[in-house]
Structure 1
Amino acid sequence: MTTYSAVRTTGIYCRPGCGAKPLAENVQTFELAAAAEAAGFRACLRCRPYRVAGTVADEAPELVCRAVQLIIAGVLDAAGEAALAARIGVSARHLRRMFHEHLGVTPDQFARSRRAHFARRLLDDSELGIAEVAFASGFGSLRQFNRAMREIFRASPKELRERRRKTDRLTADGGLVLRLPYTPPYDWEAMSGFLAAQAIPGVESVEGGVYRRTITLDGAPGLLEIGPGGPDHLLLHAHLPFWEGVMHVVDRAACLVGLETDLSTARQFLSGDPELAPRLAARPGLRIPGAWGPFEVAVQAVLRNPPETLQEPDEVRREPRHRTEVLAVLGAGDRELSPWRDEPGGLGSAGEQAGHARDVLGERESAGGALPGSGAAGAVVGEQADAHGVKRGRGEVDEVRRGRGAVGEADEVRRRGGDVDVVRGGRGAVGEGDQVRRGGGGADEVLRKIVEVYGIAVPGLGFGLTHLFPAPEALTGVEPVAALAREVADGNIVLDCGRPEELARRLEQVAGVSRRAAQLVVMRLGGRDAWPLDGDAGHLSPWRSLAAFHHLVDDYAKVS
């Protein structure tokens, strides 16, 4: 955990290792940079504490840690502290009291500090204009941006950019390159190995130690690349259709690779267990991975961990809605992929994002063009539906017309060697008995077919990336994940860890979701006490997630 030292006589705070040597009686310590700023101190110009990982210590109460994760996810961008408190089941007053007691700041002050620090890093590292930096960092206006930067850094954004160092600037062949700071040690090899083993075909890949995935922002596709950088940071290459709100893209990428959590207290606690102690010593930098798209993580967990009473699914069934020539049109990007998601005042619900993407597709297809805004990623969504028109409305994706030549009622859509064949078993429209058969390959093959059939195609990316993961609305008729998709699409289950115990209970009540799958989802979404293994391991509570992940990583290493 990073501890910041503030000097009362100068009004400056520093990170550990700074060359300044003030008198001990003049020094006050803070666990967060935001707390030092709230107390009236400014960042040191020499050690630049805004450039290090500002994680919250895991010794803070779980309620506070859950609230922090929701702030990182952008909850306070579109709502106030009352909405944040409601997500974790407490009053706004109690939440503010807990933040003051354990972090030294209010939730709003914590969020503002994060935005300002991210903006300062963009000013240092990138060539984005001042206005682009403001909106990329989540500020609502230039006036708000200038005021916050002057209050926190005592200088205007223009003055701050003029102070940057030559070594700060990052360049890349297209896209935006940013550092993802962390406090060593950090085991990227183990993290990338886990992500490779769990990669969703067509959506994620790991090659040459670099993790890549497709994403969608407000209906437009993009590409992220995360790989090793320096001794205290990873490098993120973001190829996005626009830069507005990119702070949330970076935050979610950091959460995905486990950089937003401090596990020092958990490691100290678990090191007392004789079985875990050697594992912890062998992998001191192991972090628990998060999730870019909570829904895709849930689908993956269900398919890879079916209930014991069920056999592994041999086929993906649904009530088809389209001709085989347009298999990719129903997916609109993961409900959880947009950094603004479904918060009040955000940039669109999942259904609205889906409708926007399809509206654009229809317009561009008729004009013979490509999806606008995706040039930065080299992603062109093409060869889409000529048989469908889709309208959008309050989270729903509705079919409004069909072309001629629909597949017959008893027809079977079958994949062979990557191609789609229609095996005619009748005539007319496709009925409930249709299925996309799996030719082998287990859960990976089922995931691949789900992505290919219901996700939007994004050609030209390479590295095995071909599609965006489909939204819950597109999978409400696809077994064995139909029940889960319906619950998420209807808003009955919210996939975040505001209340991890309740989330696990709700997931286990869904048909087709095993206890192991539910616990894996909770673990990936930030729950600190999930246990997706056999037995109970109550003696490891409340840090069972880290213990379980050590077991999982070792199991993957043995298999590989």
Structure 2
Amino acid sequence: MVTTGIYCRPGCGSQPLAENVRTFEHPAAAEAHGFRACLRCRPYRVAGPIAADVPELLCRAVQLIVAGALDSGTEAALGARLAVSPRHLRRLFTQHLGVTPDQLARSRRAHFARRLLDDSDLPVADVAFASGFGSVRQFNRDMRLVFRASPVELRNRRRRADRLVADGGLVMRLPFAPPLNWPALLTFLGERAVPGVESVRDGVYRRTISLDGAAGLLEVLAGGPDHLLLRAHLPFWEGLIHVVERVGRIFGVDADLAPAEAALARDPLVGPLIAARPGLRVPGAWGAFEIAVDAVLAQYTARPRARGRLAALVEAIGQPVPGLDHGLTHLFPSAATVAAADLRGVGLPADTADTLRALALAAARDDTLFDGGSPLTDFLREVTAVPGVTRDTAQRIALRLGYDDAFPVVDRADARTRGEPGAETGNDAGTGLRLAPGTEAGAAWRPWRAFAATHLAAADLAALTA
């Protein structure tokens, strides 16, 4: 609102005159133009989604920023990772978001810190480093720029209902734009949970994580109509913002479903599935290498046997984490650990072991292989260059890494459901599609094929368990 210098979320109860309203594409853009967040609707508590019609390059840049590319790096380094000049990158951000990459990164850190000040009792200095700030001085300066108040003043202003108390660990809200289909997401993740590392029981998702080699535990459960609850048990709080962002990606809390739902609502196959499961998001992943290992194992055998092999791998070379319950026993092994392991000794067949070792070597040598910074076509080419990895396996990895147009093709789901011969070698992402030679999988669903594939998989899984 021009007259007050305040910006609000759509749907806020304030009713300014139309001529006094200025629209921004992102909260960070409003802050860059001198506006502060409304105290009524508190837009800093919900991450602003990126519009669906922005260039793919911009989406990948935002994903890298969220992962921390600008916490200690520069716009020049980010541009180099995306193979563009810093000037072109800034021009894209300014044109489509109204903000520079650095301003977006600063806004995200400040918004996360404000949520921590509201929700937790962490000391202010701990909030600074948990939110990705390099120093308390930088933290104080940026909070004053964004919120017009010091961190201590903001802590003193928090609402009594905001404070979350936990019996151990730290609890935070994971806000989302309703609806979010929690039961369908849990079913999907539970079917694919890594034994010993992940657990889905009694409506709670749990997993072990490694932070600089030290073990942590995360628990996610339903909170309210517009948020999930994350309970984190971590060895330290520095960089907590990236832990929370990665957890949010697992459940797609920042996803804007409206464009995909609008595009596919009238599709004769996918449309009814969307109506049956409103709010189903494309599940993401905590660890990209973890997803890649699972996809390679599933490439060679049906999911039940692949899960058994995954469990054997984790038990043999994963770092043990004693004292946990709910079936959690280990950390998932790193790419370097898998590359150095005797995979045949773990019980993997020769072809599976060779492909998995090649994948681990590639991931250990190139830490950008699975960071989502490449276009989908480049990502598929790079991953299928690993000996033994099929294009469909690369598509399955890409879907969980957030590529909107990723689409694993499956033509054996029906056979495996009926127990027919040949089912053992079929891919199991659940579409059950049978394609004519030369047909592009899911062409009618572009550019939302990952969304379509998720609904098809959910429907197949529901049919199998009915």
TM-score (norm 1): 0.74
Contact 1:57/1:261, CA 8 A, preserved across alignment? no
Equivalent residue letter for 1:86: A
1:253 aligned to 2:129? no
Matched position secondary structure for 2:171:
strand
Aligned to 2:125: 131
Structure 2 CA distance for aligned equivalents of residues 550 and 182 of structure 1 = 19
Aligned to 1:319: none
Cα deviation, residue 199, structure 1: 0.2
Deviating more after overlay: 252-261 vs 486-495: 486-495
1:496 aligned to 2:371? yes
Equivalent residue letter for 1:537: G
Matched position secondary structure for 2:324:
strand
Aligned to 1:448: 311
In the TM superposition, what are the counterparts of 1:40-55 in structure 2 within 5 Å? 40-55=34-49
In structure 1, which of residues 101, 106, 114 is the aligned counterpart of residue 100 of structure 2? 106
Deviating more after overlay: 144-153 vs 483-492: 483-492
1:228 aligned to 2:188? no
Cα deviation, residue 493, structure 1: 6.2
Contact 2:257/2:279, CA 8 A, preserved across alignment? no
Aligned to 1:296: 290
In structure 2, which of residues 77, 84, 88 is the aligned counterpart of residue 90 of structure 1? 84
Give CA deviations for 1:1-60 in whole Å, capped at 9, x if unaligned: xxxxxx101101111332222111101112311111111100111221111232212222
1:518 aligned to 2:394? yes
Structure 2 CA distance for aligned equivalents of residues 272 and 31 of structure 1 = 28
In structure 2, which of residues 345, 356, 363 is the aligned counterpart of residue 481 of structure 1? 356
Cα deviation, residue 520, structure 1: 0.8
Matched position secondary structure for 2:371:
coil
Contact 2:296/2:356, CA 8 A, preserved across alignment? yes
Structure 1 residues 493 and 510, CA, compared in 2 at 3 Å: closer, same or farther? farther
1:554 aligned to 2:430? no
1:120 aligned to 2:114? yes
Aligned to 2:428: none
1:283 aligned to 2:272? no
In structure 1, which of residues 165, 175, 187 is the aligned counterpart of residue 169 of structure 2? 175
TM-score (norm 2): 0.88
Structure 2 CA distance for aligned equivalents of residues 27 and 541 of structure 1 = 35
Give CA deviations for 1:332-352 in whole Å, capped at 9, x if unaligned: xxxxxxxxxxxxxxxxxxxxx
Q: Whose helix fraction is larger, Structure 1's or Structure 2's?
A: 2
Contact 1:59/1:265, CA 8 A, preserved across alignment? no
Equivalent residue letter for 1:450: L
In the TM superposition, what are the counterparts of 1:65-214 in structure 2 within 5 Å? 65-214=59-208
Cα deviation, residue 162, structure 1: 0.6
Aligned to 2:385: 509
Equivalent residue letter for 1:12: I
Contact 1:224/1:239, CA 8 A, preserved across alignment? yes
Contact 1:58/1:264, CA 8 A, preserved across alignment? no
Structure 2 CA distance for aligned equivalents of residues 544 and 18 of structure 1 = 33
Give CA deviations for 1:407-432 in whole Å, capped at 9, x if unaligned: xxxxxxxxxxxxxxxxxxxxxxxxxx
Structure 2 CA distance for aligned equivalents of residues 555 and 255 of structure 1 = 23
Cα deviation, residue 492, structure 1: 7.7
Contact 1:150/1:156, CA 8 A, preserved across alignment? yes
In the TM superposition, what are the counterparts of 1:267-278 in structure 2 within 5 Å? 267-278=261-272
Aligned to 1:529: 405
Equivalent residue letter for 1:545: A
Identity %: 60
Structure 1 residues 152 and 118, CA, compared in 2 at 3 Å: closer, same or farther? same
Q: Which structure would you say has the larger Rg?
A: 1
Q: Any stretches of 5+ residues in structure 1 without a counterpart?
A: 1-6, 307-311, 314-439
Contact 2:369/2:382, CA 8 A, preserved across alignment? no
Equivalent residue letter for 2:378: E
Structure 2 CA distance for aligned equivalents of residues 59 and 69 of structure 1 = 16
Count matched residues.
Answer: 423
Contact 1:493/1:503, CA 8 A, preserved across alignment? no
Structure 1 residues 230 and 10, CA, compared in 2 at 3 Å: closer, same or farther? same
1:539 aligned to 2:415? no
Equivalent residue letter for 2:6: I
In the TM superposition, what are the counterparts of 1:368-517 in structure 2 within 5 Å? 442-476=305-339, 477=341, 478=343, 479=353, 480-491=355-366, 494-499=369-374, 500-517=376-393
Matched position secondary structure for 1:183:
coil
Give CA deviations for 1:210-233 in whole Å, capped at 9, x if unaligned: 100000111110000011000000
Equivalent residue letter for 2:325: G
The answer to which structure, 1 or 2, has the higher relative contact order (CA under 8 A, 6+ apart) is 1
Cα deviation, residue 88, structure 1: 2.3
Cα deviation, residue 461, structure 1: 1.0
Equivalent residue letter for 1:542: P
Equivalent residue letter for 1:491: D
Give CA deviations for 1:339-366 in whole Å, capped at 9, x if unaligned: xxxxxxxxxxxxxxxxxxxxxxxxxxxx
Structure 1 CA distance for aligned equivalents of residues 442 and 310 of structure 2 = 31
In structure 1, which of residues 218, 227, 233 is the aligned counterpart of residue 212 of structure 2? 218
Contact 2:173/2:229, CA 8 A, preserved across alignment? yes
Structure 2 CA distance for aligned equivalents of residues 263 and 174 of structure 1 = 34
Equivalent residue letter for 1:459: P
Structure 2 CA distance for aligned equivalents of residues 441 and 257 of structure 1 = 23
Structure 1 CA distance for aligned equivalents of residues 254 and 370 of structure 2 = 18
Matched position secondary structure for 2:409:
coil
Aligned to 1:241: 235
Q: Whose strand fraction is larger, Structure 1's or Structure 2's?
A: 1
Matched position secondary structure for 1:466:
coil
Let me know the Cα RMSD of the aligned residues. Answer: 1.5
Structure 2 CA distance for aligned equivalents of residues 85 and 256 of structure 1 = 26
Structure 1 CA distance for aligned equivalents of residues 24 and 367 of structure 2 = 40
